[in-house]
Amino acid sequence: MDVMRLTALSGREESALREAIRGVLKEVWTALPSSITKDSDGHTATHQSTVKQIITFPDGSTTTVPFPDFDTSPVHYPGGGGVTATHPVKKDDEGVSLFLSMPQDLWHDKGGVQDPVDGRRHHLSDSRWIPGGRSNPRKLNPPPSTSSGQDRSDDGNHVRDYHPQNGLSSVSTKKHLTQVGGSGSGGAGTLHLPGKILKNAAKVLINCIKQDPLPPPGDSFANRKQIATKSIGAGAGGAGGGGIASIMSSLMGGGASSMFASPIAAAGGALSGAITSAVSALGGVSGAGGLMSALSGSGGLSDALSGLMGGVSALSGVTAAGVGGFGLTDLLSHAQSLSQFFGSSTAPSSVSLSTVLAPLQSGSTLSGLTSSLTTLSASVVAGATTPTAATATVNSWTAQIAALMTNSSAAISTMNDAAPLLNTALAIAGAGAGLDANEQAIAAAISTPQLAALTAAINSIFALSDTDAASAQAFPDADATQPGATGGM
């Protein structure tokens, strides 16, 4: 009916028409405020309108009755692109019941594009539930931030805040759980830090490299390796030498070798001579070509010895470190880091001072190989040992020598990578964290290769407020419901 015809209706006719339209609209459902009537499985929800329905009787009288429960309604979570923001849906949670304009039965069952099961429109059976929207009695307290985005618990005890200027922060007054590696709540390779995450993460980072002892008091770094052949005295003519002027004079006249000396120079030179002698003696032995190659060929014992000698010269300060290598300053820095982070405690062999210094302390090993090589080559020349067997022995020596510098360099490199983490951990631990037996047990299960995973853990720590610190110290985790570190500070 167009406007012209509507305006031509009498008053009675117009009133009847409007009443008919209102009657039809009463059966068109769009949305209702609602609340959950029982805990949801996270996929569908049972909910009921929080506004009652008006029933009009023929005599014009009215009453109100509650709507029936709307069940198996899909719960709407924001999501897309493989990521969904979910949360629990519990009894009495408030939200909106949305009624679709066409049936959703087949879509809900099969997904994709489906035919409607019938011609109904805006029907109460085609509902979805959208969480959110709060009545005044259930408004958030403390109120939400008006200047930043937040993921939070309703009571405000756990808040992750995204501020456009101040950045990201995280605050919690209760228990934390961080999992590194694995999946689920107990997969292989997991690290659980219940409660006190700020301090526990610091303690784990500090402890994760503790296994081998540092030198005892009095056994100084210089005593472990003879670097300085001249000591710096109190002054010219004083005890211990001629002072800085004398040392500079030596450097000007004789170069670095007058100040620093490789501790394996003599032993390395003796082994190099033994290799040359062995190759010469084996020249007339049938089938010894492979053995000679293992001694002096590419990648053989001579090459491994050269690599060790060069590395030790750099670590001793005799020569400058090559590209990709480590020198005296790296060695000193490593020792300082061990002292700073571990004091008189222990460090693992992967970063310990003994591992770093092993190349510089390999003189006795090289001397032993010199003697063994002389005996071995003589045995091959005499026919008592086959060249094949001798080759296998020489290859094992090559691997042994190569590992000395490889492990030393890896230890320095690992400490360089770990130092930023450990510095952060020390700063956090400065809040007063101590070590309990459970945290020690966690530390024992963590190896140096997991430093990358621990980097991710430490990066999840944002700030330690006074409130956080007090809560962490007060939290006993007495129920020990989570695997990993438990107990008080």
Instruction: Report the CATH number at residue 119.
Output: 2.40.50
Residue 288 lies in a domain: yes
Among 219, 190, 218, 214, smallest CA distance to 204 is for 190
318 with 455, same domain? yes
With 70 as the cut, is the pLDDT of residue 407 above it?
yes
Could you tell me the two tokens for 425? 């951990």
Based on its alpha-carbon atoms, the radius of gyration of the chain, rounded to whole angstroms, reads: 39
pTM over 0.85: no
Number of domains in the chain: 3
Residue 55 lies in a domain: yes
pLDDT for 440 equals: 43
Whose tokens are 């610190």? That residue is: 469
Among 71, 70, 65, 35, smallest CA distance to 50 is for 35
- Domain assignment of residue 457, given as a range: 192-226+267-483+485-489
Contact of 263 with 225, CB cutoff 8 Å: yes
7 confidence band (pLDDT: 50, 70, 90)? low
238 with 295, same domain? no
DSSP 189: T
278 with 254, same domain? no
126 with 218, same domain? no
> Where would I find the beta strands (DSSP E) of 312-363?
346-347
131 with 54, same domain? yes
pLDDT (tens digit, 9 = 90+) per residue, 188-219? 333 333 333 334 444 444 444 333 333 333 33
Residue 163 lies in a domain: no
292 with 373, same domain? yes
249 with 344, same domain? no
Contact of 390 with 376, CB cutoff 8 Å: yes
The highest-confidence range among 13-22, 244-253, 272-281, by mean pLDDT, is 272-281
272 with 247, same domain? no
Percent over 70 (pLDDT), the chain: 64
pLDDT for 370 equals: 95
Mean per-residue pLDDT for 282-298? Answer: 92
Residue 175 lies in a domain: no
Indicate the average pLDDT of the chain: 73
The highest-confidence range among 233-247, 254-268, 272-286, 333-347, by mean pLDDT, is 272-286
218 with 361, same domain? yes
183 confidence band (pLDDT: 50, 70, 90)? very low
Cα separation, 479 vs 486, whole angstroms? 9
Residue 385 lies in a domain: yes
Residue 81 lies in a domain: no
302 with 398, same domain? yes
216 with 254, same domain? no
Percent over 90 (pLDDT), the chain: 37
Residue 148 lies in a domain: no
Residue 152 lies in a domain: no
221 with 235, same domain? no
